[in-house]
């Protein structure tokens, strides 16, 4: 389950390929005379835990950590008032796309901390939420990063079907960590894979996603998914000025390989420059975007302008949100924040992203500046 080695200064354990635990060499030698490796990994106070790909601090969110799974945009469960629940088990990405809306990957300038959620904790909370939300739920694994990097993915998707009311399990992915074996292991537990492919041309694909982006492999993964029990939806991001000519080619590719057995085969996304995302390409209006999609629909005879109903998504009552904009509250800082200048605070049984210079362990008074969709953001008062 873990790999180990020693570098110049630290004893290093790599758990499930993604969690890197680093303990000062001398301290480890001292502890190893008295304790087992497993005990040292779990209980040594002198250790750094890193996301092996992004190299950022990785916070393990467990039931015992007391970190709620509602309230934060980076991890946990997001309920936007429909029968689809966004489930975010891990942050961090193995790519650095030039248009990334969450500025992910090892080259990120804004993200400071990653999070990983214990699968049993996520399943327990999800079961409670699913009970409230009612029948015909879609569990959609997405997040700020690559959801398939979650080392407990196979375990999670198998168990999630035991939760009452779950009828669809879908995942967003860039496809890099999919293999034939992994597809075999997942095909009976994932209903639909939303695979992002934004260019077929190798050079352009590398320009969009980074110089090591393996487009050939991703196209093979797409075909393998289309031939499996899972449905495939190809989800390109149209970045005007970059991949305009690629979109028709991607549509052809998706239709040729048999994407969209039960759902639409394509979900073309509009590039939107976000405040803390990466900026690339030309900004276009929604009118221009839909006009282009409508032209492509006629050219290829395929539905490209999608509505929630195409995915069986309908409105549902929301989970109670204990916060509203303008509320003032005191909370405990339990971990570093996702972004620079931010801390993870627990208050009213929610995880709250609070802008503050205070330290982990301190209490902070904050004002809620946003509480939309149950995602709470605060600023120190
Ligand atoms: S756009 Fe998606 S795949 Fe690309 S860096 Fe961002 S999270 Fe990763």
- The verdict on domain 328-380 having CATH code 2.40.50 is yes
Nearest atom in ligand 1 to 144's CA: 7
**More confident site: 274 or 299:** 299
Convert the pLDDT of each residue in 210-226 to its tens digit: 999 999 999 999 999 99
Burial of 249: CB neighbours in 10 Å, binned 0-12, 13-18, 19+:
middle
CB of residue 97 inside a 6 A radius of ligand 1: yes
Instruction: Give the Å distance between the CA of 195 and the centre of ligand 1.
Output: 11
126 close to ligand 1 (CB < 6 Angstrom): no
For the stretch 102-116, pLDDT in tens is 999 999 999 999 999
Average pLDDT over residues 220-233: 98
Q: What is the pLDDT of residues 162-214, one digit of tens each?
A: 999 999 999 999 999 999 999 999 999 999 999 999 999 999 999 999 999 99
Asked whether 147 lines ligand 1 (CB < 6 A), one says: no
What is the predicted pLDDT for the residue at 221? 98
Pair type for strands 2-6 and 10-15: antiparallel
Confidence class of residue 283 from pLDDT cuts 50, 70 and 90? confident
How far does residue 8's CA lie from ligand 1's centre (Å)?
33
The rounded distance, in Å, linking the Cα atoms of 326 and 305 is 37
Q: Give the residue range(s) of CATH 3.20.20.70 domains in the chain.
A: 60-311
Mutational test site, ligand 1, from 106, 141, 145, 149, max ligand atoms within 8 Å of CB: 145
Whole-number pLDDT of residue 299 = 97
Q: Which residue has the higher pLDDT, 273 or 21?
A: 21
Strand pairing category for 84-88 and 76-79: antiparallel
Neighbours of 334 (CB within 10 A): 18
Establish whether residue 146 lines the binding site of ligand 1, counting it when its CB lies within 6 angstroms of any ligand atom: yes
pLDDT at position 281, please?
Answer: 74
Could you count the other beta carbons within 10 Å of the beta carbon of residue 118? 17
Residue closest to 269 by CA, chosen among 292, 295, 299, 249: 292
Q: Are the CB atoms for 338 and 353 separated by under 8 Å?
A: yes
Q: Give the distance (Å) from ligand 1 centre to CA of residue 99.
A: 8
Rounded to whole angstroms, the Cα distance separating 156 from 145 reads: 18
The pLDDT tens digits of the residues spanning 118-133 come to 999 999 999 999 999 9
pLDDT at 275: 86
Q: Does residue 197 have its Cβ closer than 6 Å to ligand 1?
A: no
Q: Which two tokens stand for residue 149?
A: 């990097």
Question: Kind of pairing, strands 113-117 and 137-141?
Answer: unpaired
Angle at 185 between CA 137 and CA 171, to 5 degrees: 35
Q: Residue 95: CB within 6 Å of ligand 1?
A: yes
For a substitution probing ligand 1, which of 56, 102, 108 has the most ligand atoms within 8 Å of its CB? 102
- Tell me which residue has its CA closest to atom 4 in ligand 1: 97
Q: What is the mean pLDDT of residues 3-8?
A: 95
Distance 89 CA to ligand 1 centre (A): 15
Q: What is the mean pLDDT of residues 89-94?
A: 98
pLDDT for 324: 98
How many percent of the chain have pLDDT more than 70?
Answer: 100
Q: In the predicted model, what is the mean pLDDT of residues 18-31? A: 96
Structure confidence at residue 260 (pLDDT): 97
Per-residue pLDDT tens for 321-353? 999 999 999 999 999 999 999 999 999 999 999
Q: Averaged over 220-247, what is the pLDDT?
A: 97
86 close to 80: Cβ distance less than 8 angstroms: yes
| Alpha carbon of 94 to ligand 1 centroid (Å) | 8
Q: Does pLDDT of 1 surpass 80?
A: no
pLDDT of 274? 87
Please report the pLDDT score of residue 282 as a whole number: 83
Amino acid 329: pLDDT: 98
Per-residue confidence (pLDDT) for residue 180, from 0 to 100: 96
Q: Give pLDDT, residue 140.
A: 98
Q: At what angle do helices 119-133 and 153-160 cross, to 10 degrees?
A: 30
What mean pLDDT value characterizes the chain? 97
Residue 276's pLDDT is 87
CATH 2.40.50 region(s) of the chain? 328-380
Closest C-alpha among 340, 347, 359, 297 to residue 323: 347
Please choose from 95, 148, 279 the residue to mutate so as to test ligand 1's pocket, defined by most ligand atoms within 8 A of CB: 95
Domain covering 60-311 in this structure, CATH number: 3.20.20.70
């Amino acid at each position: 389950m873990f790999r180990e080695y020693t570098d110049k200064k630290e004893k290093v354990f790599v758990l499930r390929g993604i969690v890197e635990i680093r303990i000062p060499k001398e301290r480890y030698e001292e502890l190893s005379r008295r304790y087992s490796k497993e005990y040292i990994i779990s209980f040594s106070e002198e250790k750094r835990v890193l996301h092996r790909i992004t190299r950022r601090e990785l916070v393990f969110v467990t039931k015992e950590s007391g970190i709620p799974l509602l309230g934060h945009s980076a991890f946990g469960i997001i309920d936007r008032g429909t029968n689809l629940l966004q489930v975010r088990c891990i942050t961090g990405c193995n790519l650095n796309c030039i248009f990334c809306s969450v500025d992910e990957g090892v080259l990120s300038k804004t993200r400071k901390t990653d999070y990983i959620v214990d699968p049993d904790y996520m399943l327990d909370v999800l079961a409670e939420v699913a009970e409230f939300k009612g029948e015909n739920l879609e569990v959609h694994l997405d997040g700020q990063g690559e959801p398939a990097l979650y080392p407990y993915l196979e375990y999670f998707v198998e168990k999630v079907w035991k939760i009452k009311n779950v009828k669809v399990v879908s995942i967003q992915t860039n496809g890099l960590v999919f293999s034939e074996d992994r597809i075999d292991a997942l095909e009976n537990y994932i209903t639909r894979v939303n695979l992002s492919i934004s260019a077929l041309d190798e050079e352009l694909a590398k320009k969009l996603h980074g110089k090591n982006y393996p487009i050939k492999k991703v196209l093979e993964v797409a075909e393998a998914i289309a031939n499996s029990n899972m449905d495939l939806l190809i989800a390109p991001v149209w970045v005007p000025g970059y991949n305009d000519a690629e979109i028709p080619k991607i549509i052809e590719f998706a239709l040729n390989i048999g994407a969209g057995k039960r759902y639409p085969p394509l979900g073309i996304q509009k590039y939107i420059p976000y405040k803390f995302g990466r900026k690339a390409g030309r900004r276009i209006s929604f009118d221009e975007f839909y006009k282009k999609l409508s032209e492509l629909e006629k050219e290829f005879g395929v539905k490209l302008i999608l509505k929630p109903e195409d995915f069986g998504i309908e409105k549902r009552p929301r989970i109670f949100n204990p916060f509203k904009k303008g509320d003032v509250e005191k909370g405990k800082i339990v971990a570093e924040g996702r972004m620079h200048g931010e801390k993870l605070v627990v208050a009213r049984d929610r995880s709250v992203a609070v802008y503050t210079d205070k330290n982990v362990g301190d209490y902070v008074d904050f004002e809620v500046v946003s509480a939309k969709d149950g995602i709470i953001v605060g600023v120190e008062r």
